[in-house]
A and B are shown apart, each in its own frame.
Chain A
Amino acid sequence: MPGKPTVYERVVRITHIYLGPAADRFIERQVQNHLDKPATQLTADDLKELIDWIRVAVALLTDSPEIVEEYVQQLQRLATNPDGNNKRNHKA
């Protein structure tokens, strides 16, 4: 019986919308480099700081601030409701 998805898995699921197969590697790097812990130990309390680092990193990957904001907003929704469902609402 599959368990409840961890915070890390939820974050990767959202990131997958934007970074596809590179999502897990991206999040692992952000958590390890900036939060100094293994990605699997990511908690809801870490999300606020992680989101700030992700905003900076993703801004380097696109010239479109709308995409960055959309991604960050989805993560912020996760941060305010880490146990709830995240509805995908991204622009194509």
Chain B
Amino acid sequence: MNQKKPYVSFVILAVLYILLVIVLPYDQVTSRLYHLTDTQYRIFLTLISVPVVLTWFAAFYGQASLDSYASRIKRTAEGNAYKRLSYGLQWLAWGTPIIAITSAVLGGIASGNPEFFHAAVIIKHYLIILVGFAAAAYLSYGSSKLLNLLRGKPAIISVRALLLFYVILAVVFVSNVWSALQSHNNSPYFLPHWLIFVTVVVPVLYGWFMALLAVYELLIYSKHAKGLLYKRSLLLLYNGIALVVGSAGFLEYLLLQGYRLRVIVLDLQFIIGYIALLLYALGFILLATGAQRLKRIEEV
């Protein structure tokens, strides 16, 4: 029965989202941009939403698979660590549809009440930051617990490359925020500068740091894990988590750059976003495969 719960949750969220797409007042900007009638707009939005909903399913499937494995080994030394990883992925699996649904509702409210637009964007951004931060925190906690299980001191893969990568990410993000703040008409934040840096930039950067650290620690753990068959399955799991973390981080970055609630523009950013979503779904499918193989080792 427990294994059906995540899929029931997914169906409820997916149906709710599609209903909102159909029911909420249509967005005039998008309709005018593509010369769509009300019905055409809703069909357009529904078609665009289908791939998104499918990625949600992949996320629920992946998280449920890892959770099932973590539950199977809950009495072992690794069990607690995998459970924490599962919680991190659960934040992503639930968070993505909740952000989409909230964004749709806020956009619907804002379209009838333009004075609410700034508040709606702020709420959406904070929700994105909260989901990303919580997911990264749990993933980092789980990865550090796994790494602590390695006996002796593992040979450390160069930290320098990791730090360099993180510094580049941080500089790109902060410079984008700064550029947006300098361009008063195009800033997506609608907050005082100090509040943006304290409540947006710092949590996002720290979340990204935790996520990168989690991927790095899982890489070390998977490289030093023993067991030919165990390691093959673990590497699938690791590759899946790395792909999910990378694509989720990129999606977070994309979403925080903009202030669209329901406006859809079929530009390069839209296409890149969809590619990131595809990689996100692929990551969850990979980790699900790894988790299922690891679970089979515990069952035969």
A89 to chain B, nearest CB (A): 13
Cβ of B76 and Cβ of A25 under 8 Å apart?
A: yes
Q: In the complex, A62→B78 CA distance in Å?
A: 22
Q: In the complex, A25→B298 CA distance in Å?
A: 7
Cβ of A67 and Cβ of B228 under 8 Å apart?
A: yes
Q: In the complex, A25→B26 CA distance in Å?
A: 57
B79 to chain A, nearest CB (A): 11
CB nearest neighbor in B for A68? B229
Chain A residues contacting B78 (CB-CB under 8 Å) are 21
Interface size on B, residues (CB 8 A): 19
Say what secondary structure dominates the interface of chain A: helix
Bitwise, A17-36 to B at CB < 8 A (1) or not (0) is 11111110110010000000
Residue of A29, A67, A92 near B229 (CB, 8 A) is A67
Check: A16 CB closer than 8 A to any chain B CB: yes
Bitwise, B263-300 to A at CB < 8 A (1) or not (0) is 00000000000000000000000000000011011101
Cβ of A20 and Cβ of B298 under 8 Å apart?
A: no
Check: B191 CB closer than 8 A to any chain A CB: no
Cβ of B225 and Cβ of A21 under 8 Å apart?
A: yes
Chain B residues contacting A22 (CB-CB under 8 Å) are 227, 230, 294, 297-298
Q: In the complex, A18→B233 CA distance in Å?
A: 11
Cβ of B297 and Cβ of A61 under 8 Å apart?
A: yes
Chain B residues contacting A23 (CB-CB under 8 Å) are 227
Cβ of B226 and Cβ of A20 under 8 Å apart?
A: yes
17 more contacts with CB within 8 A, not counting A20-B231, A25-B76, A60-B296, are A16-B227, A17-B228, A18-B230, A19-B230, A20-B225, A20-B227, A21-B78, A21-B149, A21-B226, A21-B230, A22-B298, A29-B300, A61-B229, A61-B293, A67-B229, A90-B228, A92-B228
Q: Chain B: residues with CB nearer than 8 A to chain A?
A: 73, 76-78, 149, 225-231, 234, 293-294, 296-298, 300
